[in-house]
Amino acid sequence: MLNSIHYFIKIIIIFFVVIVFFVFSTLWYFSIGLPDYKKLSDYQPPISSRVYSEDRKLIAEYALEKRLFIPFESIPDKVVNAFLSAEDKNFFSHPGIDAKGILRAVIKNIKNISQNKRLEGASTITQQVAKNFLLSNEVSMKRKVKEAILAFRIERAYTKERILELYLNQIYLGQGTYGIAAASLEYFDKSIKELNYPEASMLAALPKAPSKYDPYKYPEVAKFRRNLVLQNLEENDFISKKELNIFKDIKLKLKKRKIEILNEANSYTEEIRRTVKDIYGFEKLYSQGLSISTPLNINFQIQALKSLRKGIEDYDRRQGWKGPITNKIKDKNWKQKISNYKLDPTLDWQLAEIISIENNEIQFKTIRKKKNIEGVIKKKNIKWTIPNNKTTKDIHEIGDIFFVKKKSNIWLLKQYPKVNGGIVILDPFTGDVLALVGGFNFKTSEFNRVTQAKRQPGSAFKPIVYAAALEKGFAPNSIILDAPFVESQGVGLKNWKPENYGKKFYGPSTLRKGVEYSRNLMTVRIAKIIGLDEILKLSKKLNIYDEIPELLSVSLGAAETTLINLTSAYAPFVNGGKKIEPKLISRIQDRRGKTIYQEQSRKCLGCDKFINEKIGLPKIENTNERVISRETAYQMTSILQGAVKRGTAKKLRSLKVPLAGKTGTTNDNYDAWFIGFSSNLVIGVYIGYDNPKTLGKFETGSKAALPIFKDFVEKALYKDDFEEFTIPENIYLTSLNYHSGNKSAAGDKNSIIEALKFRDINNINNNNVISSSERDKIIKFRQFY
C-alpha cells in the first residue's frame, strides 16, 4: 500500500515537472522574436495637424489618422468607467490576463459552437494594447499566446494608468477617428470632459465593431449596444439603478464636428499644406500634431470668395449664353457629362432639366437629388441668355440640362464660367495674408491663380516705374511728353512702337496724369530717361519678378508675375516705403506646444525694460527693408488716389472713402488686373483664362477686375474701417493746376492739392510756382499747404 502511494506521488511529481517544462518551453518558444515592449515608453501616436484662423477657429485638418492625444490625468472618470465596464471590468486587479474572463468566455463559446455563433474573445485591455501596438491582427493560437506573454511583460513594466492611456488614445472608434478625444469631437462636437455617461457609453460601445455600431448609420443598433454598456456600468456600481433607467431612455444626440470654413478657405489652406509639407515633410505634417496659426480673417475670406464669384459670373454673362451642358433627350451619355462637374458646396448650385417652356418662362426639375424639385425661371431672369430678335424657345429646348440656384426664393439660371481669377487681401504693414481665393471652384481646379499663375500685369506695373522716377528726382507735376515713341530692337527686328490705349497722343502732360490715365508712351519715356536698370532694381527688391528680361517693354508690364507678388509690391505705398513678405503662417507649434516656427517682421523696442516716465511705453518697429522713401510712398499714394478720383479707377468714387489703386490690362485684353488699397489693406484682383486668350474688346481691368474689388470693399468693410493716409513730415501740400503742374491762380477750376517733397521746392521756384519768401517760410516752419 505504501509503495503504491509513493509510486502515485512520483507520477504526480513527474507529471507536474512535465507540465512545468511544457509551459516554460512553450513560453520560451513563443518568446523568441517577440517585439520589444519597451518601445511603448517612447510611443507617440500619430496626431492630426490643425490649422487655425486669426481668431483660433479650426479651418483645416491634416491627418492619416484623425487623432488627438490626451494624457490619462485629463481623462474624466466617466469615460474610464464606461470603457472598463465595456471592455475589461477587472483591469485594475488582473496581471495582464483575466483568468475569470477566460473561463467565462470558454463556457460561452461552448454554447456558441453548438449554436453556430461567432466565438467571443477574452482579451484584456493590456492584451489589446499588445496586439494594437506590437502584433498583427492575425487570428491564431500562436498570436494569442504571444499576446498573453507581452501582456504580462507590459504589466510589469508600466503602470495601469499608462496602459489605459495608450489604449484610449490608440483604438479605432469609427468615422475615421482614433482615440477618445477625436471620437468625442466627431460624434458629439465636445471635449471628453463635457461628456455625460450616455455619451461616454456610446464611445465605449464602438471598439468591438465600429462599423456595425456606427450611430450615424445604424442608430437603433448603436443605442442597443450603448445600453448594454450602461447596464454594465450599473452592475459594476458606477451608476445607480435609477440613473440606468433614465440614461437608457435618452435618445442618441449626435453632432458632427464643424470645421468653420472648410470649403471657403480651400485655396488658402491648400497653400499652407504645400508650404508646411515642403518645409517639414509629409510625415511631420500628417502625423506629428502640428498646430498652425494663420492670419486668415474668416469674414474677409467668405466675402472675398463671394465677390470673386460674382465678378466672374458677371463677366461670363456679358459674353452671352454658351448653351446647355447637354440635352437629356438627344444625348445618350448625358449622365457621364454631368458627372464631370464637381462643385463646391458653397456654390449651392443644382443640376436641372427643362420639362416645359411656356410664356417665355422655363419650367424645370432638379436632377441628381434624392427628391427632385420643380421650379420656374421667370422671363426677366433668363433675358441675358436670349439675343435680340430671338425667343426663349429659339435658345432653350425641353431636355436641356443646366445649373440653377435659388436665391431669395427666386430661381436663377447659372452658367459654369470658363474664365477664372483670384483675389488676395493683405495687411500692408505686416504682410499677413488676411484672405486668399485662388479660383472660382476649388473642386474642379486646385490651381491657385493668386500664387501659381504667372501672367503679364500690364498697366498695374506702372506705379513701380513712376515710384522709381520719383526716387530719381521727378515730381508729380514734372512734365513728360506724350507723343509717338520708336525703339530699335536690334538688327533684323522691327522697331518697337508702343501705343496708348485708344491710339491717341496727348502732348506734354504731368507725371500724375501719366499714372491716372495709364499713358503708355509717357511711361516708356520715363523708363528711358531714368534707365531700365533703376526699374529692374526696384522690381527685384520688391520680389515682383523671378527673372526680368532687360527690355523696355517691361515698363509696361510685359514680364510675368503672380498676383500675390504684385499686390505685395503695392504695400510700401501704404506703410511708408517698407518691403513686405506675404505671410500665410503666423506660427507653428509642435504637439507639446513648443514654437518651431514664427515669422518675425517687427521688433519691440523697450520690451526688455521696466516702464517708467522717462523711457515711456515700448514701441513696435517694422524691421523690413526700406525700398523707397516715405515721401515717394506718399506721393504714389496721392497719385493713385487721383486714379480713383479722375482716372481709370473712377468707378470707386461712389464709395466716398479714402482709396487708391491702379488698373491693369494686357495686350489684346488677355488679362485684367486691379490692385487697390486703403490705409490698412491692400487688395489684388486678377481675371483671365487659364489657357490665355482675349477677354473681349472692352474687358479691361476697370471693367472686369475693379468691380470685384469694389464689391469686396462695400460688403466686407465699414466706414469706420477707413482712415486718411498718413502724410510724412517732409511732404507739403500745395495747390497746383492739374493740367500744367504750375501754381494755381485764384479761382482755378482745375486746381488740385499736390504732394511735393521739400527737395522739389527749388524746381517749383524756378517755374515761378511760389515766391522765394514762400519757399523759405515752408522750409523754416515745415507747414502743410
- How would residue 779 be classed by pLDDT, with cut points 50, 70 and 90? very low
Residue identified by cell 459670373 is 313
Residue 350's H or E segment, with its range, is strand 350-358
Please report the sign of the dihedral spanned by the C-alpha atoms of residue 590, residue 596, residue 601, residue 604.
Answer: positive
CA dist 209 and 200 (Å) reads: 16
459: annotated active-site residue: yes
In sequence order, the β-bridge partners of residue 411 are 406
Q: Are 294 and 54 in contact (CB under 8 A)?
A: yes
Nearest to 671 by CA among 465, 458, 461: 458
C-alpha distances (whole Å) from 452 to each of 151, 439, 478, 690 are: 54, 11, 38, 11
In whole angstroms, give the CA distance from residue 704 to residue 717.
21
- For the chain, the distance separating the N- and C-terminal CA atoms, rounded to the nearest angstrom, is 133
239 alpha-carbon distance from chain centroid: 46
Residue 563, C-alpha cell as written in the block: 498676383
Per the structure block, which three cell numbers stand in for 597?
A: 516656427
Q: Are strands 671-677 and 682-688 parallel, antiparallel or unpaired?
A: antiparallel
Question: How far is the C-alpha of 184 from the C-alpha of 269, rounded, in Å?
Answer: 24
More confident residue, 27 or 60: 60
Res 501: pLDDT: 87
Q: Which one from 85, 201, 267, 459 is the annotated catalytic residue?
A: 459
Q: Cβ(225)–Cβ(213) under 8 Å?
A: yes
Average pLDDT for 92-103: 70
What 720-723 contacts at long range (C-beta under 8 Å, 24+ apart), as own/partner pairs, is 721/678, 721/680, 722/657, 722/658, 722/659, 722/678, 722/679, 723/658, 723/678, 723/679, 723/680
Is residue 233 within 8 Å of residue 242, measured between CB atoms?
A: no
Q: How confident is the model at residue 130 (pLDDT cuts 50, 70, 90)?
A: confident
Residue in 48, 49, 87, 702 annotated catalytic: 87
Three-class DSSP category at 194 = helix
Is the separation of the CB atoms in 755 and 729 below 8 Å?
no
Cell numbers that stand for 183 in this block: 471620437
Is residue 159's pLDDT more than 50? yes
| Cα 570–chain centre separation | 23
Q: Give the separation between CA 501 and CA 261, rounded to whole angstroms.
A: 42
Contact predicate 230/239, CB 8 Å: yes
d(CA 637, CA 643): 10
pLDDT digits (tens, 9 = 90+) for 574-584: 999 999 999 99
The 10s digit of each residue's pLDDT in 34-53 is: 655 566 677 778 888 999 99
Q: Is 199 a catalytic residue?
A: no
Q: What is the pLDDT of residues 164-212, one digit of tens each?
A: 998 899 899 999 899 999 999 999 999 999 999 999 999 999 998 999 9
Task: Confirm if 685 and 421 have CB atoms less than 8 A apart.
Answer: yes
pLDDT of residue 112: 53
User: Average pLDDT, whole number, for the chain?
Assistant: 87
Please tell me what DSSP assigns to residue 546.
Answer: S
> Tens digit of pLDDT for each residue in 713-747?
999 999 999 999 999 989 989 999 999 999 888 78
Give the closest residue to 732 by CA, choosing from 658, 662, 634.
Answer: 634
Higher-scoring residue by pLDDT: 90, 446: 446
Whether 458 and 556 have beta carbons less than 8 Å apart is answered as: yes
Helix (H) or strand (E) holding 22: helix 2-31
Concatenating the DSSP letter of every residue in 372-409 gives --EEEE-GGGTGGGS-TT--HHHH--TTEEEEEEEETT
pLDDT value at 604 more than 70: no
Per-residue confidence (pLDDT) for residue 114, from 0 to 100: 57
Measured in whole angstroms, the distance separating CA 52 from the mean position of its chain's CA atoms is 9
Element (H, E) at 563: helix 563-575
State the Cα–Cα distance between residues 226 and 202, nearest whole angstrom: 5
> Mean pLDDT throughout 68-78?
91
Residues 6+ apart with CB under 8 A from 145: 26, 30
- Residue 12: predicted pLDDT: 72
385 pLDDT higher than 90: yes
Beta strands in 143-232 (DSSP E): 177-178
Output the CA torsion sign for 245, 246, 249, 255.
negative
pLDDT range class, residue 143, cuts 50, 70, 90: low
Q: Binning pLDDT at 50, 70 and 90, where does residue 614 land?
A: low
Of 760, 545, 751, 533, residue with least CA distance to 635: 760
